[in-house]
Every structure is written in C-alpha cells, then in structure tokens.
Amino acid sequence: MQVGKECWRVERAEQMAVIVDAEKYFRTARVAMMGAKRRILLIGWDFDARIELEPGVDRPGEPKKLGDFMLWLVEREPDLEVFVLRWDTGAIKSLFRGSTIFTMMKWMKHKRIHTKLDGHHPTAASHHQKIVIIDDALAFCGGIDMTGDRWDTRDHRDDDPHRIQPSGKPYKPWHDAISAVQGPVAHALGELFRRRWHLAGGKKMAAGQPGGTFWPEGLEVDFHDVDVAIARSEPEMSDQEPCTRARRCSSARSRGRRSICTSRASISRRARSPRRSPSGSTRRTVPRSSSSTRRPRKAGSSRSRWIPRARG
C-alpha cells in the first residue's frame, strides 16, 4: 500500500482480530470498555443509548442499557472521559426515540462525558465511520455501530427472542463485521477521531497517550505483529481537500492485496500471518443458509465487503 496515494497511514498492529456479527462485537466491546482508564472515543453513524450490549444477560450492579452503562463507567473510574461523535442529521431524528433525549441530557450534565453532532459534510451527505478507541491502545473499526437493529448471532435465527428493538418490535437478521486492533494503529485511529472532533466544532483535544496493553478476554487473535494500512474517504469542503484513498484501496484490493474493508475507511493487512490462506485470496462474507435461517440483511453496498480467508 502506498502512503499518500492508496492509504492515509501505515501503522503496526501488535494483535488484530476480525469480529463477525454484533453479538460477539458488543460483548467484546463491553469487556474492553470496562478496562478503560483515560478515554473512550466513539464515532458512529448512529448511536442508540437504549440498546443492551448483551441481551438476556444480567450482572448485579451493572446497568444493562448502553447509555446508563457509559454513565456507570465514568462514575466508577474517576479519570475516565467519554467522547461521542455522531452524524448530526441522524442524531436529531433519534432524539425523539423513547428515553434517548433524557439520556443525552444526563450525559450533557456530566463533566466527563462529551458529545458532539458532526455536521462537517456536504448538504444531504452523512458520516459512516464506526470506530471505538480505548486509551489509544485498543480500537474497533468496521461496519457495526452501537445502535438498534444490529445485534444478532452467527446463527441469524428467525425466532431469536433477543433480536428486538428497544420498543419491543422484532427486526430481521443482520450480518456485518468489525476489526479489533491493538498497538500503534489504535493510536492513529485516535488521531483520526481528534481531527474529526475539531472539524465538527469541538475544542482541540490533547494528544492521546499511546501505550498500555490489554486485549479483551475471550477474543481470539487472528494476526500478530502486522502492518496495517488505514484508508479514508473525505468529501471536498471549504476547509479540506477531497480524499478518495478508500476507493483507491478498494482498487488495490482488486489487484490481489489482502484487506479488510470498513465503512468509508479501509484497513489492509500487509504482513504475512500463520493464519493466512495458502492461496492468498480474499472472499466475500456471506451467511450460511439453512432451513432454519433467513438470509440476513447486508449492512450496505460498501461496508465490510471483504475479509481475509481464515481457517477454522
């Protein structure tokens, strides 16, 4: 990958994993956020404070709803700050979903929870990045945002009792993926967040403090010590030039390079790994079909389209 042409940055990932479907992602993200000490940075196309990260699981003393969980985290960790950046138009529409507006009011009153609606985009456009960065040491980047209609298991069963909206209405199966990365690449994603926060009108944030080693318990590592290329797409604005490196990264993938495509950003694995497919090919991820499952909805035509072929 050519820095400045096909990608924005190339950074090292000490450990990396591909997480398929939100049941595993939400469970893993909860474990990771429990270990945060300084900052949790969240970028989302949508964000619904009413959802449960682990439907059907009760933990004494721990809130089940995402919004209450975030408040609980900052109360239990005195130095922890949370920054939430989301697309402005979608956020305005969601304010009237159930208890969302009351949760937002609680967040705005808390001195260590910071929220920002990102309107730094052309008219009728939207932001599609879905990224979570924890202490600039661990990050999740891909196609799953923490909102309704996302949670689902790998089975995608029609009658799953936990696949319901906060309103109680069931929704159809959903299939998507996200990557977990640890190391300098997480710090780079933190820099991406801080730049977007400032462009959205937020105060300039202090630089992150890279370092720290923690990997979510129970998450299998797919790759060790690999270089990761980060590609971005940004629109032309009065204060920025257009950036189409994610599209160029997609073109590079078509020439045989192994990569993971995220929403409006692309992460490409550059080094060899013990889990690499002998053929070095990539494949489109599709759910298994059976008489007891329904084909899940795709998350979007350009989101999470390719992941490395892995054994097992």
In angstroms and rounded to an integer, the radius of gyration of the C-alpha atoms of the chain is 19
What confidence tens digit (pLDDT) does each residue in 1-37 have? 789 888 999 999 999 999 999 999 999 999 999 999 9
**pLDDT attached to residue 46:** 82
At 312, list the tokens: 């097992």
What confidence tens digit (pLDDT) does each residue in 183-201 have? 999 999 999 999 989 988 8
Q: Which H/E stretch holds residue 260? A: strand 260-262
**Which of 109, 121, 103 has the alpha carbon at shortest distance from 67?**
103
Which residues of the chain are modeled with pLDDT < 70?
A: 88-101, 245-312
**pLDDT attached to residue 262:** 45
Backbone phi, then psi, for 45, in 5-degree steps? -70, -40
Going 143 to 146 to 150 to 152, the CA torsion angle's sign is positive
**pLDDT attached to residue 77:** 96
- Is the Cβ–Cβ distance between 135 and 39 less than 8 Å? yes
Backbone phi, then psi, for 214, in 5-degree steps? -150, 135
Type of residue numbered 163:
R
C-alpha span between 251 and 237 (Å, rounded):
24
**pLDDT attached to residue 120:** 76
DSSP state of 54: S
Q: Which H/E stretch holds residue 221? A: none
CB proximity list for 134: less than 8 A, separation 6 or greater? 32, 33, 35, 36, 39, 40, 41, 186
**pLDDT attached to residue 287:** 34
Q: Which H/E stretch holds residue 308? A: strand 306-308
**pLDDT attached to residue 187:** 96
Residue 160 burial (C-beta neighbours within 10 Å; 0-12, 13-18, 19+)? middle
How many C-beta atoms surround the C-beta of residue 303 within 10 A?
A: 19
**pLDDT attached to residue 307:** 35
What pTM was estimated for this model as a whole?
Answer: 0.80
Mean per-residue pLDDT of the chain: 79
∠ CA(199), CA(237), CA(267), 5° rounding?
A: 70
Three-state SS across 155-183? CCECCCCCCECCCCCECCCEECEEEEEEC
CB proximity list for 136: less than 8 A, separation 6 or greater? 38, 39, 186, 187, 190, 208, 209, 210, 211, 212
C-alpha span between 143 and 174 (Å, rounded):
11
**pLDDT attached to residue 271:** 41
- Is the Cβ–Cβ distance between 182 and 94 less than 8 Å? no
